[in-house]
Amino acid sequence: MKSSLQKEIQNPGEMMADIVICRELDKANLVINQFIKSCSHSMRGPLKSIRGLVNILKDRNPDTDLDPAMVIRFIEENTEKMEIILEELEQFMLNSSRETKNKSIDLDELILQVTTNFQKEIKKQAIDVTIQVQQPGPFYSDLARIRLILGHLLTNAITFQKAENPNKKISIQCSVTLNECVLSVEDNGIGIESDQHGNIFGIFYQATSNPHGSGIGLFIVREALEKMGGTITIDSQPGQGSIFKVTLPNLAAPALVHGL
């Protein structure tokens, strides 16, 4: 009778697959534990603020000049902070557990849909957004993950604009070939110090003193790209804006590729 060890030796492929799965699970569990701790810390501040603001409204003296509308606005802002943190946790969990699903993607339509979701903030900051898509043939990839990636990159481009700049701009460019898709998001915002470029895709890393969310957005982008076999680069200098460039393989069906 063969031992379990002999069976493992006879099936090195299966053994390696099990090792890879275990490593991925260990990594996911570590990140989840870190994220839960970060959530607890990050959400404690907004919750305390909301509690304090609610007490102010409850105990408000009618003779004071306190504006209830202002207090409510502060409560809304702190609530939004917590919603962002919870949304990022959900995105991380989905990206970690969901299998890659390839389908035909109309990038012009997808980019338009994503930017439309940000129209309120784009109008509020009077940002000039331009979109240029060159897709002469089919492009196959994971629609949900590309939507997630573009959403995070656009969020960064909007969030880190220079407040005093009267000419805020964001440029989204996309080019598709038989082999790949190159997607770039460029802004003329505050930019990022060159010595931080290697850190910004790390979990919970926040490059500015005015953080947005939990610092997991670009980490999720990198993780999603790894699952799709893609890469991302950054070109940025302080005060000159940033360019994030994503490269993804085109997984178009062979029959469609030959038909181009």
Rg for the chain, CA atoms, rounded: 23
The answer to whether residues 243 and 185 touch, using CB atoms and an 8 Å cutoff, is yes
pLDDT, residue 10, reads 54
The answer to whether residues 115 and 154 touch, using CB atoms and an 8 Å cutoff, is yes
pLDDT, residue 177, reads 94
Check whether 255 has a pLDDT greater than 50: no
Paired residues of 242 in beta bridges? 187, 236
SS3 215: coil
Measured between alpha carbons, how far is 141 from 130 in angstroms, rounded to an integer?
24
Residue 204: pLDDT band by 50, 70, 90 thresholds? low
Largest CA distance in the chain: 89
Check whether 134 has a pLDDT greater than 90: yes
Question: Which has more confidence, 215 or 162?
Answer: 162
pLDDT, residue 78, reads 75
pLDDT in tens, 4-45: 555 455 566 666 656 655 666 666 666 666 666 666 666 677
In this prediction, residues 148-154 reach a mean pLDDT of 92
CA 215 from centroid of its chain's CA atoms = 10
Fill in the DSSP letter of residue 232.
E
Q: Is this prediction's pTM over 0.95? A: no
Q: Output the average pLDDT for the chain.
A: 79
pLDDT in tens, 65-95: 777 788 788 888 777 767 666 666 666 666 6
Measured between alpha carbons, how far is 9 from 253 in angstroms, rounded to an integer?
36
* Beta carbons within 10 angstroms of residue 81's beta carbon: 21
φ, ψ of residue 71 in degrees (nearest 5): -65, -45
Measured between alpha carbons, how far is 109 from 135 in angstroms, rounded to an integer?
11
pLDDT, residue 32, reads 66
What is the per-residue DSSP string for 60-99?
--TTS---HHHHHHHHHHHHHHHHHHHHHHHHHHHHHHSP
Check whether 61 has a pLDDT greater than 80: no
Question: Which has more confidence, 139 or 51?
Answer: 139
Q: Which residue has the tokens 């009618």?
A: 62
What is the per-residue DSSP string for 154-198?
HHHHHHTS-TT-SS-EEEEEEEE-SSEEEEEEEE-SS---GGGTT
Of 256, 116, 107, nearest in space to 183 by CA = 107
In this prediction, residues 110-118 reach a mean pLDDT of 94
pLDDT, residue 71, reads 79
Within 8 A by CB and 6+ apart from 182, the residues are 174, 175, 245, 246, 247
> What length does the chain have?
260
